[in-house]
Amino acid sequence: MVDKLTTDRFQQPMKEFAASLAVDDPNAAFWWDYMTMVNIVLCFIRAQRDGLWNLHLYAFKRKLPFFFRYDHINDARWGTVYLAEMSALPPEILLEFQKGNFLVKRSDRRFNQVQQDQSTEWLNPTGKKSGGLVGITRIATSLSRWTLSYNLRTVIASQTKEMLRLTTDDEDDEYTHTECTKSRMERDDGDESKICVSLKEQEVPEG
């Protein structure tokens, strides 16, 4: 099925149909563009979460024309520079990126990699809880000591956990994702029910 959808015999009529929408039905053309953008974003998210470098570049390249079309000037300008730079990477760096090492991975589970700037958000809860930065931000020496020793303490904790062979109940289940846990699914079901109730309240009675 996928092979047939990617053939020129199928793609060419679809391109002609999409082009005709701009003339025959602007509203349909808008939604066609919207669905195209959603598909590109889903591809990009998949590339980011699974560390797929080639898919990352493919999805980003497909996003670029929409940056120009909808006047995202900064994204359009620097996105072009980004693609040019990524197309000229040294071989050793390209090899590492193709292994997925252009992102940060916190555990061995799947679909959980994030960008470097997002990974810093993991440090925020650590600093805000007991034993963190709370109460010492005005003491320069204490603040420096906590900041400089954080990485070392993390390494010690990780090695201690490995030495004692400590694991969590679901640590070995690489297919378990946060979205698939029982509590999250129950919460999602509850939210869905609330949306359905709200929509029904907005219904206009016939007649």
By C-alpha distance, which of 117, 95, 116, 114 is closest to 50? 114
Structure-block tokens of residue 146: 């906590």
Tell me which amino acid residue 43 is.
Answer: C
pLDDT in tens, 85-109: 999 999 999 999 999 999 988 777 7
Distances (CA, A) of 202 to 84, 194, 198, 206: 50, 13, 7, 13
| Cβ(110)–Cβ(175) below 8 Å | yes
Q: How does pLDDT run across 141-190, given as a tens digit for each residue?
A: 888 888 888 878 878 888 888 888 876 655 555 556 677 778 888 999 99
Distance CA 54, CA 44 (A): 10
At 2 the pLDDT is 43
Predicted local confidence at residue 92, as pLDDT: 97
Q: What is the pTM of this model?
A: 0.68
Q: Which residues pair with 114 in a beta bridge?
A: 104
Dist. CA 142–CA 144, nearest whole Å: 5
Domain ranges of the chain: 1-103
Residues 63/83, Cβ–Cβ less than 8 Å:
no
Query: What pLDDT does residue 94 have?
Result: 96
Rounded Cα distance between 184 and 118, Å, is 22
HSE toward the beta carbon, residue 127, CA cutoff 13 A: 18
Average pLDDT score, the chain: 84
Cβ neighbors of 126 (< 8 A, separation 6 or more) are 132, 150
- What is the rounded CA–CA span in Å between residue 155 and residue 148? 13
Residue 51 CB coordination number (10 Å): 21
